[in-house]
């Protein structure tokens, strides 16, 4: 199995597209970092952070005085005022716009690009073998088809994890060089009290929750690529469902069946923002995703094991 994975890994890196994906990922981290650094210098003459916080208090109080505010809006402006007052009272400037942590929080959004590149790999790693005819040579080896397909699946996930590591490491280096560690703190209101926000814990949790979409999108693209032997169909269908999944869930939210669709649960980051569907919990979402993952794998393996490749 290890030799098969090594062989798939070498074939993957012999493709120019693989290097292009890595280069593009690095580029979309470097360019925004440079832009943010440029505008940070432009905004340095806007005044001290104390003046900015005082102005923020005045602005939020003015908004709070508006009529017909909802309770949610009132709570939001009250929290903003409480945080600004806490900063002034405890000499605690924000590191929101000029720190390593804030930049890495920003680049965590690049995981969408990581998922896209992993989907492209998953969709083509099997279908390309059929289109070029090299699958016949691969299956002549004294290895079962199940091992061959498993090696391709594991290689796909290893490549995806490699891209995640690239995203984290490059973001850390760029953020450290351009912005430094930062001396401020991030604050939030918890149970009516202002407290320091655990930025690194929240960032790690965000990466962990993003794994739901990462795994399910990869398995679905792998399924379509294995069954239909079309990488373009697999990529297009997977990304279509990824981008329209939220609208599909909203459209079906009035029906109970929505709780049993994998698209409802694949974006686990929704638990950071609030649950979209009532009576939905993390254990339930993980159970649904696990069931669909097994279904995707069973269909992929069954199709690959029974397919005639001699023609």
Residue 4 has a pLDDT of: 83
Q: Which long-range contacts (CB under 8 A, 24 or more apart) does 82-89 make?
A: 82/189, 82/194, 83/187, 83/188, 83/189, 83/194, 84/53, 84/54, 84/56, 84/57, 84/60, 85/57, 86/187, 86/194, 87/49, 87/53, 87/187, 88/50, 88/53, 88/54
Share of the chain above pLDDT 70, in %: 87
- Among residues 160, 168, 169, the alpha carbon closest in space to that of 116 is found at 160
Query: Which pLDDT band, with edges at 50, 70 and 90, does 153 fall under?
Result: very high
Residue 39 has pLDDT above 80, yes or no: no
Residue 44 has a pLDDT of: 52
Higher pLDDT, 25 or 143: 25
Residue 46 has a pLDDT of: 54
Strand pairing class (187-190; 193-196): antiparallel
Beta bridge partners, 187, equal 196
Residue 144 has a pLDDT of: 80
Q: Where are the beta strands (DSSP E) in 150-281?
A: 187-190, 193-196
Residue 311 has a pLDDT of: 44
Residue 291 has a pLDDT of: 94
- Among residues 254, 240, 246, the alpha carbon closest in space to that of 273 is found at 246
Residue 155 has pLDDT above 90, yes or no: yes
Which has the minimum average pLDDT: 48-52, 274-278, 281-285, 290-294? Answer: 274-278
Count of CA atoms in the C-beta half-sphere (13 A) of 121? 34
pLDDT tens digits along 188-244: 777 777 777 777 788 888 889 889 889 999 999 888 888 887 778 878 888 888 777
């Amino acid at each position: 199995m290890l030799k098969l994975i090594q062989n798939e890994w070498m074939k993957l890196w012999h493709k120019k597209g693989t290097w292009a994906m890595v280069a593009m990922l690095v580029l979309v981290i470097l360019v925004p970092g440079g832009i943010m650094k440029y505008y940070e210098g432009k905004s340095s003459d806007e005044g001290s952070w104390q003046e900015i916080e005082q102005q923020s208090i005045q602005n939020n109080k003015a908004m709070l005085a508006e009529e017909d505010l909802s309770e949610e809006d009132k709570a939001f402006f009250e929290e903003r005022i409480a945080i600004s007052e806490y900063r002034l009272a405890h000499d605690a400037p924000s590191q929101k716009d000029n720190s390593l942590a804030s930049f890495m929080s920003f680049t965590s959004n690049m995981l969408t690009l990581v998922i896209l590149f992993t989907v492209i790999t998953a969709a083509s790693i099997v279908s390309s073998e059929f289109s070029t005819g090299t699958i016949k040579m691969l299956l002549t080896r004294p290895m079962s088809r199940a091992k061959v397909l498993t090696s391709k699946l594991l290689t796909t996930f290893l490549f995806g994890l490699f891209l995640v590591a690239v995203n984290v490491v490059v973001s850390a280096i760029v953020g450290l060089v351009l912005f430094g560690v930062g001396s401020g703190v991030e604050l939030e209101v918890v149970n009516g009290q202002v407290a320091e926000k655990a930025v690194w814990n929240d960032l790690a949790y965000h990466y962990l929750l993003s794994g739901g979409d990462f795994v399910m999108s990869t398995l679905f693209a792998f399924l379509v690529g294995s069954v239909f032997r079309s990488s373009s169909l697999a990529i297009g269908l997977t990304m279509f469902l990824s981008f329209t999944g939220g609208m599909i869930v909203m459209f079906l939210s009035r029906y109970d069946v929505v709780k049993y669709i994998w698209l409802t649960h694949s974006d686990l980051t929704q638990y950071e923002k609030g649950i979209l569907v009532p009576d939905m919990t993390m254990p339930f979402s993980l159970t649904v995703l696990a069931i669909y993952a097994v279904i995707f794998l069973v269909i992929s393996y069954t199709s690959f094991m029974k397919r005639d490749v001699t023609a």
